Amino acid sequence: MGIVDRTVKPSFAKSLFLGQVASELVMPYPNFTPEEAGRVAAATTSAREYLAESYDPWEAEREGWVGDRVIRELGERGLTGLFIDEQYGGLGLSQTGYCRVMEEFGRVDAALSVVMGVHQSIGSKPLFLYGTDDQKARWLPDLAAGRKLAAFVLTEPNVGSDAFHLETWAERQSDGSWLLNGEKRWIGNGDRDVLTVFAQSDLGHVALIVEKGMDGLSTGPRFETLGLKANHLQRVHFKNVRVPAENLLGEPGDGFRIAMNTLNNGRMSMGTAISGGMKQFLQLSIEHTTTRQQFGRPLIDFELVEDKLAWMNTQIYGLESTSYLTTGLVDRGVADFALESAMTKVRASDTGWYALNRAVQVHGGEAYMADHPLSKALRDFRIFPIFEGSNDVMRAYVALNGLKALSEDLPDVASLKISDPAKSLGIIGPYIAGRMSRALRPEKLLGAHAAVAKQATAVSEQTGRLRDRAEAALRKHGKNVQEKQLVQKRLSEAASGIYSQVAVISRISAALSRDGVAASADEKTVAINFCKSAEREVGRQLRALEINDDRHTRMIGASVRKSAGYSFSL
């Protein structure tokens, strides 16, 4: 094992597992240039005006599609090509600018945000990131203008979270073309125009552009879903579809990397679209609780109602801060943002679901009626913890990548053997010394405003404890840590909680410096409240790595498996 170059920081999230706080990646909080701020403001205003005047979510649900007219008119406003370069007819927005506009779609209709996200975040994005100049010139103008829609074609009947083991097969022909066979399912926009299809081949994974109307390509029947009914979710079949050589993205063998990098980009807009939805839930809740009276008082006067509204407001602030810190990493040219993207997706989809349930609760029976927007949202939002990487898989992904980074910093871990006590003592000694050193001198988050110095210090201490627990897990389980999913979940949740606090500290520090302490008092209260809550949750997760009921959980799980259900009688 060579000497680790300490001057080269890994991703911010990976650095946390090493007990390091890469302040230069997250401070100061990212912001638009004045020029882009104007362009983003124009795009968000255009989206907001159009959606308020010309889009009806209920009509789209009844029709089972957001509407070709809607797509066309959004395209005329440039809203279907937000990040595509202006030379191809797009608006050329940054990742942050793109996600800011996606928030407007999420505020109005989750189904429309998904259609737009599939088309842009993952459908057009592979071409944007990996296409040649000729490929971009061929397809991006129509996609940017909304004349065509794009799809990301990965999931198969037997392939979901394990996306590496695709069964769809592409055979290279003597003329360089590809013969494609297989079946995909749950494909948004799968019956539309430009499909980026991922398949196995003798040369490794490939990404192929398949166009509507190609011989051997068929779709359907359409899936009937619980929610998102205005989104076409399709089966896609390939029977000897001949794909021209010039439709290959990247090189043979690049397909899996293209798919994963595209998803890493795409997950960010889900976070901002969900935060847009949460803002609408809060708005509806405030309107209802201020006008609805019980016991001679408006509902908002009651503490348990106020508690829910305060929680929603605080969580929106935390999610928004985390989402746009993550997009800012991309815009600053940080190459490794996969863990931050995964964390944002998990936190957004979980928090959005909890916020929606609180909004339903304060509305009471009214929200349970089928024609209420929160009733529709309940059906629409439930998919978010599942697709674009299920949350359990994303948690494992975060933890295992963080542990891998740490293991590379600990070349002695692999040699730790319980059967060799003397050797074990020699290895555990440096671990104990390192733990004491981190406790006495935790690495600091630099650049935080003095008004949130206490929160910055807490983040530093939590980061040191995360490193200690992660190292302890590696030394205890070795390679078997890959099977310890409860360990992975707790480490991932702790790291995510720290990252979200850093995002909030970075954001409020910028506001305090810009506007002053007095003018930022309300925002500071929200920020500190969020950090305190997140710190408590991080503490619970880290303590649970040492004190837990996992043994009983495994025993009960084994009993349930053996009995194939509930086995106790009165």
Please give the Cα distance from 397 to 454 (Å, whole number): 31
DSSP 3-state assignment of 534? helix
DSSP 3-state assignment of 109? coil
* Cβ atoms of 145 and 75 closer than 8 Å: yes
Please give the Cα distance from 314 to 137 (Å, whole number): 44
Residues with catalytic roles? 388
DSSP-derived secondary structure letter, 156: B
> Cis peptide before 442, with omega less than 30 degrees from 0?
no
Q: Tell me how crowded residue 554 is: count the other CB atoms within 10 A of its CB.
A: 11
Backbone angles phi, psi at 16, to 5 degrees: -60, -40
Which residues on adjacent β-strands are paired with residue 172? 178
Q: Which helix (H) or strand (E) holds 90?
A: none
* Cβ atoms of 545 and 490 closer than 8 Å: yes
* Cβ atoms of 36 and 97 closer than 8 Å: yes
Please give the Cα distance from 490 to 472 (Å, whole number): 13
**Segments in 225-291 forming alpha helices (H):** 255-291
* The amino acid at 186: W
> Who's near 395: CB < 8 A, 6+ residues apart?
346, 488, 489, 492, 493
* Cβ atoms of 84 and 129 closer than 8 Å: no
> Of 500, 501, 428, 502, which is closest to residue 468 (Cα–Cα)?
428
Distances (CA, A) of 380 to 109, 341, 353, 375: 9, 22, 10, 9
